[in-house]
Amino acid sequence: ARIKRLKNANLPYERALDEFDLTVQPGISQRQLNELKSLTWVDQSYNLVLLGPTGVGKTFLSVGLCLQAIEKGYRAIFITMGELVKALKMETISRRSQILLKRLREAHLLVIDDLMFLALDKKEANLFFHFINDIYEETSIIITSNKGPQQWGELIGDEIIAAAILDRIVQKSEIIELTGDSYRVTHRQTIFDNPHRSVIGLSNGVQNP
């Protein structure tokens, strides 16, 4: 059952929450992380909004929480906003999209990654609203975005729909703003880490400093 849940989760990679380095991310405390790991908020259908620029760990945290949920027996699924909008537009004609959206609607925990990365036209906004309305108060949603809720309305083609989406997502949610340097930069892997590396460029008579 766990293997099936993991396969259906559609995770971009597998990184456990224990690997998340809080020393480079002042936007979240150890106490907050422990509360998120407990997943009691999922049982209460609370939402989590992770805000911040590219690379500060939003996706890492959401993937880790998905893995934590899967280990505890929850159905957790990860999808990008682009993939979700595409599936919603194809639902009436694509069996594959129908199966995917059925899984999303039945999930205990759903991650929507990169919300509002791209602007939505009126039709897309309407489809997204109906989807959120379907799972409202039944599924916990984790949203990652580099734009705050006050900016979401600018990227949705209808102000009334934008307000309705915002109301359903934010009304019962925790909003965490992640800050600091890019997590990817801080934890990058580099070819120059090994002090015993061979010197590059000797064939050209050039030695690296």
Reference 150, options 51, 32, 25; nearest CA is 51
> What confidence tens digit (pLDDT) does each residue in 19-62 have?
888 887 888 889 999 999 999 999 999 999 999 988 888 999 99
Phi-psi region of 70 (alpha: psi -120 to 50; beta: other; left: phi over 0): alpha
Residue 200 has pLDDT above 50, yes or no: no
Kindly state the tokens that stand for 2. Answer: 């766990």
**Which residue ranges make up each domain of the chain?**
2-204
Reference 117, options 82, 90, 143; nearest CA is 82
- Report pTM: 0.83
Q: What CATH code would you report for 2-204? A: 3.40.50.300
